[in-house]
Amino acid sequence: MSRRTPRALVGGAPQETFTFRFDDREIPAAAGQTVAAALWGAGVLAWRTTRGTGEPRGVFCGIGQCFDCLVTVDGAPNRRACLVPARPGGLVTSQEGTGHDDLAV
């Protein structure tokens, strides 16, 4: 009996790969992958700190319902990393709190 792999079942093929910049490092990503998936794949599990206590946050729900995975993407703060597609040459930075200085308490 032959073993069926996920790739064989869906007829998948290797995807085009590229890198984007996260803070001070290059992160590899595949076409169609989200920023959060690429960060996880590179071993980065937290990329935001909470406004009140500075606790680290990364992906919690993974489907865009919570806001634990916020990052700044190409200068735009408060983007949910689990929803934003990784882009070749993109600049993603970790975020502290809400990402807006005028909202600090």
Nearest C-alpha neighbor of 97 from the set 37, 60, 47: 47
pLDDT 10s digits, 86-95? 999 999 999 8
Write down the domain spans for the chain. 16-98
pTM: predicted TM-score of the whole model, two decimal places: 0.79
10 Å CB burial of residue 52 (0-12, 13-18, 19+) is exposed
Cα maximum dimension of the chain: 63
Residue range 6-51, pLDDT digits in tens: 777 777 777 789 999 999 999 999 999 999 999 999 999 999 888 8
CATH match of 16-98 with 3.10.20.440: yes
